[in-house]
Amino acid sequence: MPLTDAQRAEIEAHSQASAPTRRPTVPALEEKLFTAIPVLDHGFIRVIDYMGDDSAVVQAARVSYGRGTKKVSEDSGLIRYLMRHRHSTPFEMCEIKFHIKLPIFIARQWIRHRTANVNEYSARYSILDNEFYLPAPEHMAAQSASNRQGRGDTLDAETAQQVMELLRDDAARCYRTYEHLLDTDEGPGLARELARMNLTLNAYTQWYWKVDLHNLMHFLSLRIDPHAQYEIRAYAEAMLDILRAWVPVTAEAFQDYRVGAFTFSASMLAVLRRMLTGEAVTQPESGLSKREWEEFQAAIRA
């Protein structure tokens, strides 16, 4: 299970506690506060704290003295203008803090986004739980023949089962060794900071991850992309739902101008203008590489 009884009790205690505040709050996000949203087999995401809302973006852009100084429609128009023209600073005025439980190999990919404050569970001081990520059969795939960092066709049921057993056996065996290394009675009582190196990368870790709204959207724009690895995409999609609850106007603009948009290069735009005049342009005479041409065609034919 993603959460133990003790963890659920702790979350429930946090959820029941309240304190008066004079700062803006978002009812839809308040409902999600502290609640663990399951991701993968043992992972989760939960919102620990946040600062700001859609009005904080507007307030920062106008450097105004309060919220609601303009009509809601005008505020929405300004947010969409800021998003459309990539004026990022006002979005940096909002922040959110997550508690995330995730496999180590996804954490190592995630940490490449160096725009957040991170504090990870330390296996130097604490003992990691005996929990490992095992992909569902539909996510067991062979290496892609065309993409060096992606998956290809899904494995057949028999092969997927064999892979699952190998992963499960390896993880279980490594954890048994980890426990033996730590054991001070029947084992060597090895230091925790050394014993942990034996664990497999599908073991779960946890961290607090605090990020501003601008950098959160940048993270999401990359990680909800269909080309992103499934496991990190699962976390990003859960976070996108949280974004919609937190800053709905900003989330809608983000969806329109980032997620659902495509940026044309100058060369692509020149080709599009030629096509709009009725000219039949082919890839060899377009000046675009084969990959650029395929991306261009995918954008205009979708």
Q: Which of 132, 125, 113, 119 lies closest to 43 in space, CA to CA?
A: 132
223 labelled catalytic: yes
User: Cα separation of 287 and 86, whole Å?
Assistant: 28
Contact partners, residue 246, CB within 8 Å, separation at least 6: 26, 28, 29, 50, 53, 94, 96
Alpha helix stretches (DSSP H) within the chain: 5-16, 27-32, 54-62, 72-84, 104-110, 157-182, 192-195, 213-223, 230-246, 248-254, 266-276, 283-286, 290-301
User: Cα separation of 274 and 287, whole Å?
Assistant: 12
Relative to beta strand 95-103, strand 43-51 is antiparallel
Is residue 246 a contact partner of residue 53, using CB atoms and an 8 Å limit? yes
> Among residues 223, 244, 274, 291, which one is catalytic?
223
Contact partners, residue 177, CB within 8 Å, separation at least 6: 198
Report, as residue numbers or ranges, the catalytic residues: 223
